[in-house]
């Protein structure tokens, strides 16, 4: 069977990664070509993202046991993609995950069929959205905002400038995912 593709959705905090992924899951969730990854995170789930909630100790244990395909820390939190995504890739699925820009190189080295989509928005929009979202676990919003330029640059395979409506950007994202799946068939 042909190996699937790992689609990495990256970009600064507040750009709209979770919004686009949530919208795409609503439209494509029943389409067997796609798998939308539920991340393990050391925080509670929220309306923005349902995650596998782990405390720090459990996360560290699982990471040491090799339970995550990719894992990273950011904003004082730990994040991981469960190892099960590798089975989904072997089964030929298009696997979609929100990850740190900091793991893109490692992912590209390990998964030749990875495809990186960078989601961005203007600085003014990022700042406005972070303030408006007001998620208790987000910590210092100035630090989050500053990080937009602190993580090393990368060369994405596609870019979505999410500065219009979420519906508009979600349509573009869904189209991109469907084009990828069609080209991969």
Ligand X SMILES: O=P(O)(O)OC[C@H]1O[C@H](OP(=O)(O)O)[C@H](O)[C@@H]1O
Contact track, ligand ATP, 44-73, x by CB under 6 A: ----x-------------------------
Query: What's CA 61's distance to the chain center, in Å?
Result: 23
| Under rule CB under 6 A, residue 4 binds ligand ATP | no
CB of 35 to ligand X, least distance (A): 17
50-77 burial, b at 16+ Cβ within 10 Å, e below that, comes to ebeebeeeebeebeeeebbbbbbebeee
Size of the site for ligand ATP (CB under 6 A): 16
Q: Which is nearer to ligand X, 137 or 179 (CB)?
A: 137
149-178: contacts with ligand ATP (CB under 6 A): 162, 165-166, 169
Crossing angle of the two packed helices 166-184 and 17-28, in degrees rounded to 10 = 60
Give strand ranges (E) for 21-98.
34-36, 40-41, 52-53, 68-74, 77-82, 94-98
Q: Which of 6, 8, 10, 19 binds ligand ATP (CB under 6 A)?
A: 19
Footprint on this chain of ligand ATP (rule: CB under 6 A)? 11, 13-19, 48, 129, 132-133, 162, 165-166, 169
């Amino acid at each position: 069977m042909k190996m699937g593709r790992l689609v990495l959705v990256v970009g600064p905090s507040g750009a709209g990664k979770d919004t686009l992924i949530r919208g795409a899951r609503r439209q494509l969730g029943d389409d067997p070509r796609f798998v939308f990854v539920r991340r393990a995170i050391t925080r509670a789930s929220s309306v923005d993202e349902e995650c596998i909630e782990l405390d720090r100790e459990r996360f560290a244990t699982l990471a040491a046991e090799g339970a995550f395909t990719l894992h990273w820390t950011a904003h004082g939190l730990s994040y991981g993609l469960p190892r099960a995504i590798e089975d989904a890739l072997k089964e030929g699925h298009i696997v979609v995950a929100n990850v740190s820009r900091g793991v893109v190189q490692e992912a590209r080295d390990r998964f030749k069929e990875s495809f990186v989509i960078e989601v961005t928005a203007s600085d003014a929009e990022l700042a406005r959205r972070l303030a408006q979202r007001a998620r208790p676990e987000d910590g210092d919003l100035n630090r989050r905002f500053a990080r937009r330029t602190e993580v090393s640059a990368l060369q994405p395979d596609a870019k979505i400038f999410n500065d219009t409506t979420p519906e508009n950007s979600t349509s573009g994202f869904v189209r991109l995912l469907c084009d990828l799946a069609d080209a991969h068939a």
